[in-house]
Amino acid sequence: MILGIHHATFIRSDLARSREFYEGLLGLKPDPERPLMSFDGVWYDVAENQQIHLMLLPDPDAGAERPVHGGRDRHVAFTVNDVQALAAQLRAAGVAFTLSQSGRSALFCRDPDGNALEFAQARS
C-alpha cells in the first residue's frame, strides 16, 4: 500500500541556477544528510518524510517541446499556504506562471530547467 510520496527528482543542467530558484525563491533548505554520490546534487526536505532531489546529470529530454501550461505536462504538485503570495513572489522574480484551468486555487510554473511545478492552495 502506498503511504505517500518520498521524493520527486529533477535532472539539472546548472545546479547553482537551480539552487537560486529552489532555495532563494521557494525558500527550501538543503538536507545536510545527502550522501556522497557519483554525481553532484542537493536534497530538500519539503515536509515530514518528503523531499525534492536535484541531480546534476545530462537531461535525456533536452530539446523536447513542453506545453506552455504545466498542467498539461508531467509535473509534481506541492501544497502551499498562500497561492496568491507565491504568485506575487514569482511575478516579482520574473517567473512566468499560469493559473489552474480546473478552477482550483493553484498555479503552474517551470523551474530553470523547464520542469513543471504545481502549487495548490492548502485546504483550510
Domain ranges across the chain: 7-56, 70-121
Fold agreement (7-56, 70-121): yes
pLDDT tens digits, one per residue of 40-55: 999 999 988 899 999 9
Superfamily of domain 7-56: 2,3-Dihydroxybiphenyl 1,2-Dioxygenase, domain 1 (3.10.180.10)
Alpha carbon distance 35, 9 (integer Å): 15
pLDDT of residue 77: 93
Q: Which residue has the cell 530539446?
A: 63
CATH of domain 70-121: 3.10.180.10
Low-confidence stretches of the chain (pLDDT < 50) are none
